[in-house]
Chain A
Amino acid sequence: MRILVCVKRVPITGGRMVLTADAQAIETKHLGFTISPHEECGVEEAVRIVEAGGGEVVVLTLGPEEAAEQIRDCMAIGADRGIHLVSSEEWDAQATAAAIAEAIRGEEPFDLVVFGNESADAGGYQVGIRVAYALGLPVVTGLKGLTVDGGRARCEQEVPGGRDVYDVALPAVVTVKEGLNLPRYPSVPAKLRAKSKPLDARPVERPVSKLEKLRLVVPAGSRKQAEILGEGPGAAPRVVEVMQQLGVA
Chain B
Amino acid sequence: MSVLVFMESADDELSRQALTLAQSLGDVRAVTVDGPYAPAAWAAAIVEAAGGDDIVGPGSDRGNEVLAHVAAQLDLPFAANVSEVRGDELTRIRWGGTLLEEARLHADRRLLTAAPFAFVASVESTQAQVLAPNLDGAVAVVDHVAPDTGGKVSLADAKVVVSGGRGVGSADGFGILEELAGLLDAAVGCSRVVTSAGWRPHSDQVGQTGTKVSPDLYIACGISGATQHIAGCKGAKALLAINADREATIFAHADYAVIGDLHEIVPAIAAELRKVKGS
- Which residues on the B side are within 8 Å of A124 (C-beta)? 78, 80
**Does B227 make an interface contact (CB < 8 A)?**
yes
- Which residues on the B side are within 8 Å of A47 (C-beta)? none
Contact of A165 among B61, B106, B141 (CB under 8 A): B141
> A121-B95, A123-B96 known; A231 and B144 CB under 8 Å?
no
Report how many residues on chain B are interfacial, defined by Cβ distance under 8 Å.
93
Interface string of A228-249 (1 = CB under 8 A from B): 1111111111011011101111
**Does A190 make an interface contact (CB < 8 A)?**
no
**Does B269 make an interface contact (CB < 8 A)?**
yes
- Which residues on the A side are within 8 Å of B79 (C-beta)? 211
- Which residues on the B side are within 8 Å of A132 (C-beta)? 72
Question: What is the minimal beta-carbon distance from B264 to any residue of chain A, in angstroms?
Answer: 5
Contact of B139 among A92, A93, A139, A228 (CB under 8 A): A139
Q: Does A216 contact B227, Cβ atoms closer than 8 Å?
A: no
- Which residues on the B side are within 8 Å of A204 (C-beta)? none
- Which residues on the B side are within 8 Å of A213 (C-beta)? 101-103
Question: What is the minimal beta-carbon distance from B267 to any residue of chain A, in angstroms?
Answer: 8
Contact of B217 among A16, A38, A140, A243 (CB under 8 A): A243
**Does A226 make an interface contact (CB < 8 A)?**
yes
Question: What is the minimal beta-carbon distance from B42 to any residue of chain A, in angstroms?
Answer: 13
Chain A: interface residue count, which band?
A: 35 or more
Distance of A44 Cα from B216 Cα, bound (Å): 36
Contact of B72 among A120, A129, A162 (CB under 8 A): A129
Report the nearest A residue to B89, measured CB to CB: A214
Distance of A208 Cα from B107 Cα, bound (Å): 12
Q: Does B249 contact A15, Cβ atoms closer than 8 Å?
A: yes
**Does B209 make an interface contact (CB < 8 A)?**
yes
**Does B265 make an interface contact (CB < 8 A)?**
yes
| Stretch among A51-59, A76-84, A153-161, A194-202 lining the B interface | A153-161
Distance of A168 Cα from B146 Cα, bound (Å): 21
Q: Does B224 contact A226, Cβ atoms closer than 8 Å?
A: no
> A14-B227, A219-B99 known; A163 and B68 CB under 8 Å?
no
**Does A22 make an interface contact (CB < 8 A)?**
no
Contact of B216 among A159, A210, A231, A248 (CB under 8 A): A248
Q: Does A162 contact B241, Cβ atoms closer than 8 Å?
A: no
> A130-B71, A208-B106 known; A120 and B208 CB under 8 Å?
yes
Question: What is the minimal beta-carbon distance from A155 to any residue of chain B, in angstroms?
Answer: 9
Q: Does B80 contact A214, Cβ atoms closer than 8 Å?
A: no
**Does A224 make an interface contact (CB < 8 A)?**
yes
> A121-B95, A165-B145 known; A217 and B100 CB under 8 Å?
yes
Q: Does A226 contact B251, Cβ atoms closer than 8 Å?
A: yes
> A177-B209, A178-B209 known; A214 and B104 CB under 8 Å?
yes
Kindly list 16 other residue pairs between chains A and B, CB separation below 8 angstroms, not including A133-B72, A226-B241, A232-B264: A15-B227, A93-B78, A121-B95, A123-B80, A126-B64, A141-B65, A165-B143, A165-B145, A178-B205, A216-B94, A227-B255, A231-B259, A234-B268, A236-B265, A236-B269, A248-B216
8 smallest CB-CB distances across A and B, nearest first, come from A15-B249, A233-B268, A179-B202, A126-B68, A162-B146, A165-B143, A125-B64, A210-B77
A-B contact pairs, 7 of them (CB 8 A): A14-B249, A17-B98, A93-B78, A125-B113, A164-B144, A182-B198, A210-B107
